[in-house]
Amino acid sequence: MSNINGLTRHPRLRLVVYLGLAKLCVFLPPIMIQKSLAGLAKLNAWDSLIFEGIAENGYIKPEYYAFSPVYPAIIRMLHLSLGLSYTLGAFLATNVLSFVFPLLVYEAFGYTAALLTEFLPTYIVFTTVPYSDVIALIGIGASMVLLLRNKVDVQVGACLSLAVTVFYSLTYTLPAYLILSVGGGVRSSISRMLKIYLLPLMSLLGVVLWYRQVHGAFYYFALEHDIWGVSFATPIQQAQWILNTKGTGWFTSQDWSVLGLRLTPTYWYARNLVFEAFYSIGIALLIWKTSHPARLFLAFYSATVEVPLLFIVGTPAISIPRLLLPAYPAVYGYAATLNKQWVKVYLAVCIVCTIWVTLSQAYAFFS
């Protein structure tokens, strides 16, 4: 077991301070490259601009409907209540909320797991630039805290409802919670299932009805296919799409480069494999190297995040490193097995990778 857990003074404060310092790896590179604070504008790109556009003007473009209204609503609320610009409100919302999630991980899994999780390069970058991931992560994180304390009630359902309303794809993870809802007789099992599933399913029904009112119940899937080229595929077909072996990899075949370094299809595929291997190994460690009483649930839940991502093509296949963030319980496998020296190596590698992820997102695309 890691020799860090339980020996750290003021763990919550440390987690907040360390994450704040790690965020400098996101803010400083574009400033140093542009030699001006104007370099920060490079961080406000891709999905960030869409969220801010929705907050300011509503769903005025078809592609906007692929994004949940929750995060734009928060941005708009900050604009109306505090007079902040939509960009500043987006940065503020994401960064303030980013300090909440590691504290939830700490409550569920301890200090080392929280430290390793908040230093994930994708977590540092995509909870610093204006993305909505952290809201869904807070919902998942809060549900984990409650479940691991045997508090199976409507609060769990409310947390999951928030998560799936922000990230529709997290619907795939809901079956994992059956593991914790079954047992103690039919009546009690049904009661727990209702407490866990009622609110998330009602929220998803609300989303479907919203789409039905706008353009059709399955409009979201049509957008994903028509605009981002999303379709189901085998892992081999995904590899072929990313590597552009059959000339179909319209995304990776573009002239992407970061400060003069061209990003080839091989780069995109290798990058995905690294993140997929990291989480897969974490899941294996969670099962076979920890004694956590809920390890099978945590492993199955993490797998329900990762496995569906292996069976798609389109832009989300490029976003896999970020979309794997909800599988964070896999990091507990590392937290329970790495000693103090290896934890330091892990953190150092994460800092270096964070700088690269930042540069990729600012000057090309990362996730």
pLDDT for position 7: 59
In a domain, 159, yes or no: no
Alpha-carbon gap, residue 341 to 359, rounded angstroms: 28
In a domain, 247, yes or no: yes
The secondary structure of 270-336 as a DSSP string is HHHHHHHHHHHHHHHHHHHS---TTHHHHHHHHHHHHHHHTTEESHHHHSHHHHTGGGGGGHHHHHT
> Interior CA angle at 111 toward 346 and 4, to 5°?
65
In a domain, 252, yes or no: yes
On the question of pLDDT at 367 being above 70, the answer is yes
In a domain, 27, yes or no: no
Q: Indicate the SS3 state at residue 16.
A: helix
> Interior CA angle at 104 toward 100 and 108, to 5°?
170
Element (H, E) at 262: strand 261-262
Q: How confident is the model at residue 326 (pLDDT cuts 50, 70, 90)?
A: very high
Lowest mean pLDDT among 17-21, 190-194, 240-244: 190-194
State pTM to two decimals: 0.96
On the question of pLDDT at 5 being above 60, the answer is no
Alpha-carbon gap, residue 336 to 324, rounded angstroms: 20
Query: Which amino acid appears at position 366 of this protein?
Result: F
Largest CA distance in the chain: 65
pLDDT for position 164: 98
Q: How confident is the model at residue 3 (pLDDT cuts 50, 70, 90)?
A: very low
Alpha-carbon gap, residue 246 to 248, rounded angstroms: 5
In a domain, 324, yes or no: yes
Q: Which pLDDT tens digit goes with each residue over 88-127?
A: 999 999 999 999 999 999 999 999 999 999 999 999 999 9
pLDDT for position 309: 98
CB atoms within 10 A of CB 57: 12
Backbone angles phi, psi at 232, to 5 degrees: -75, 145
Query: Which amino acid appears at position 174 of this protein?
Result: L
pLDDT for position 192: 85
Alpha-carbon gap, residue 192 to 196, rounded angstroms: 6
Backbone angles phi, psi at 273, to 5 degrees: -60, -40
On the question of pLDDT at 188 being above 70, the answer is no
Q: Which residues contact 355 (CB under 8 A, 6 or more apart)?
A: 25, 29
**Looking at beta carbons, which pairs linking 58-63 to residues 24 or more positions away fall under 8 Å?**
59/214, 62/223, 62/227, 63/223, 63/227
In a domain, 170, yes or no: no
Q: How confident is the model at residue 151 (pLDDT cuts 50, 70, 90)?
A: confident
Q: Which pLDDT tens digit goes with each residue over 219-273?
A: 999 999 999 999 999 999 999 999 999 888 999 999 999 999 999 999 999 999 9
CA-nearest of 122, 100, 167 to 350 is 122
The tally of domains found in the chain comes to: 1
> Interior CA angle at 206 toward 205 and 209, to 5°?
85
Residue 262 is part of which domain span? Answer: 218-336
Q: How confident is the model at residue 169 (pLDDT cuts 50, 70, 90)?
A: very high
Alpha-carbon gap, residue 280 to 284, rounded angstroms: 6
In a domain, 315, yes or no: yes
Q: Which residues pair with 87 in a beta bridge?
A: none
Alpha-carbon gap, residue 101 to 107, rounded angstroms: 10
In a domain, 190, yes or no: no
